[in-house]
Amino acid sequence: MKKTVKGGMISFAAIAVAVTMMAAGCGAQDADQISSSSSSYMSASSAEDQNGGTYLTADDITINETIENNEGGEHAIEADGEDASYSNIKAVKTGDSAEGDEADFYGDNAAIFATNGATLDLTEMLVETNGTHANAVFSYGEGTTVNISNSVIETSGNCSGGLMTTGGGTMNASNLTIHTTGNSSAAIRSDRGGGTVTVDGGSYTTEGTGSPVIYSTADITVSDARLESTASQGVVVEGQNSVTLNDVTLIADNNTKNSDKSDYYQAVMIYQSMSGDADEGNASFAMNGGSLTNLNGDIFFVNNTLCDINLSGAEITNEGDGVFLRAAAAGWGSEGSNGGHVTMNASAQEIDGDMIVDEVSTLNLYLTESSSFEGAINSDGEAGDVYVELTDESTWTLTGDSYITSLTCDADSIDLNGHTLYVNGKAYTEGSASSGSAIEVTITSTGGGQGSAPDGMGTPPDGQGGPGGSGGPSSQGGTPPAKPGN
């Protein structure tokens, strides 16, 4: 059945749910910070990127009808196993979910909800939510697809994402403005069961603690969009999942701690939380063109997982005081086997900044197609195993003494710049070619514990480390103090 609504009213069975406290899963840290009033569309609706781009505002959309729901657990609009289409509607959802997991995993209390193989088409919509665990637009389950375009979304409660995809659902979004102000409220969000999310164009802004612009336990691709986080990481990838950014402007200001498990701030975090919700395996982050501006801390932080980081022609600027890459143990996983294991593929890429790889972590760094790296690796001395390979006229200019395990390079690839490069304990002689071997790692325990037995790690540069699988996801709205970017 195909249902088309332009300004029609929809009635739903009332389910009265009294909620007088934070629903389980949002975490005690957020309990005192729930916003009780809707904020305006200020920053997201009027945002301009550094190239002068402008984005859709509420005033740009003609509204023919308003559909409201204020009952906890219910929806303003629902498509259950059917094809439906809505346009020029304002959907307003207030009220909390009594069960955080039901909301975060299965769509309880979302403003707009599709499930059971539905195809839901949305265009020129205004969506507002003000409640705990009140996601705006939710796609749940394999075979379910939500297509949304030319719309404005704002959420103001905690644990209330803009776009939410779980259980293998599909979300396709084009030219949206999304603005979230609550804690644990990513603009582009996924949770248990993951799925596929494709976003093209628009502006996506978050203000809350633990609210990255993207929290991925799915395969998420964003192109030609502006992304900005003002308190949290810009992007978090958990488990065997991926984020790909194509010609995106990303600004990240991670300045508020959402967890006591790490001492560091970062723009992009890739990790395994050990929550049991994200499948183990190779995570992936890719950035093709565009720009990443980090305002505080490190640019990349990898912990308790293995991953590919693939960079191609992106303009990456660190205005904070951290390093370019930190692969290190933190509070997730088992002590002694919870490092970060990274394959970084840089193609036609400038890298400016140091890299730190601690004793339980590893790095394979491939620089190709005239890439350049200016920085030091483990300048404080030997730690985790590191392999560096420079080909296709790529170069490394040291900014401090560096300690690595193995090196492949041409004779003119490395400028010591007055410093010493130690390769497996021996000083490298400037102007000499070298041929080495990559570091190999195998996972030996659940949840990201890594051992030393060789079995291959990451994707070599000729494969350019394609995105990780769609594995299952994490409790992105669950216990924020234990999970950094949710």
387 and 253 share one domain: no
pLDDT tens for 378-412 read: 999 999 999 999 999 999 999 999 999 999 999 99
Question: Model pTM?
Answer: 0.85
Q: Cα separation of 301 and 466, whole Å?
A: 19
462 and 484 share one domain: no
CB 357 within 8 A of CB 386: yes
- Looking at the domain assignment, is residue 266 inside a domain? no
Residue 196 belongs to what domain range?
1-261+271-277+469-486
363 and 246 share one domain: no
49 and 14 share one domain: yes
pLDDT tens for 191-246 read: 999 999 999 999 999 999 999 999 999 999 999 999 999 999 999 999 999 999 99
pLDDT tens for 17-48 read: 222 222 223 432 232 233 333 333 333 334 45
Q: Cα separation of 5 and 7, whole Å?
A: 6
- Looking at the domain assignment, is residue 107 inside a domain? yes
Q: Cα separation of 351 and 59, whole Å?
A: 41
41 and 149 share one domain: yes
CB 152 within 8 A of CB 175: no
324 and 245 share one domain: no
Q: Mark out the alpha helices in 82-222 (DSSP H runs).
A: 100-106
Q: How many domains does the chain have?
A: 2
Greatest Cα pair distance in the chain: 76
298 and 379 share one domain: yes
255 and 284 share one domain: no
- Looking at the domain assignment, is residue 26 inside a domain? yes
412 and 441 share one domain: yes
pLDDT tens for 462-476 read: 322 222 233 333 333
461 and 474 share one domain: no
Which has the closest alpha carbon to 196: 178, 171, 175? Answer: 171
76 and 180 share one domain: yes
DSSP 275-344: SSSS--SEEEEEEESSEEEE-SSEEEEEESEEEEEEEES-EEEE-SSS-SEEE---SSS-TTS--EEEEE
| Pairing status of strand 298-303 against strand 266-271 | parallel
284 and 182 share one domain: no
Q: Cα separation of 99 and 134, whole Å?
A: 11
CA 399 from centroid of its chain's CA atoms: 30
10: left (phi over 0), alpha (psi -120 to 50) or beta: beta
